[in-house]
Amino acid sequence: MAEPQSSLLLKKQLADLKRFPVEGFSAGLASEEDIYKWEVLVIGPPDTYYEGGFFKALLEFPKDYPQRPPKMRFVSEMWHPNIGPDGHVCISILHEPGDDRFGYEKPEERWLPVHTVETILLSVISMLTDPNFESPANVDAAKMQRESLAEFKKRVARCVRLSQEEL
């Protein structure tokens, strides 16, 4: 039986990342048996509250990738307006393709099959640098960042410390 296109594409993207690593993250398979589950280490971007952190996350790809987006969830503790309390990453490019039923996002801002693991993770790094307060996945983090920045920074610093201890 022929290997699914999604599996071949993911193998190619993994090989490309091994050959040409991208600054700011590393990615690999969670287990050698499953090309659809990846472990990711996102390095806290310089000059952000997350600098110095090593945040672990999981990327789970659907069998019909790249027609549909993967799901990404941080397993390291995170405090960020666009990361839900359960660790799920909420950014436009990881939202199902097509029209947004709430009318907030344009179709071209949502998932497109041209996205790769690299473009996803670069978008996540950008999100850490510049949160979107318009549609927070963690309302408490968004409110704290707007209303009590010192407390927000302290909470993020704790996440950075914990991520360093997890290594």
Instruction: Point out the residues that are catalytic.
Output: 90
Give the count of beta carbons closer than 10 Å to the beta carbon of residue 145. 22
Structural contact between residues 24 and 119, judged by C-beta atoms closer than 8 angstroms: no
How far is Cα of residue 144 from the mean position of the Cα atoms in its chain?
21
Sign of CA pseudo-dihedral 151, 155, 156, 158: positive
62: left (phi over 0), alpha (psi -120 to 50) or beta: beta
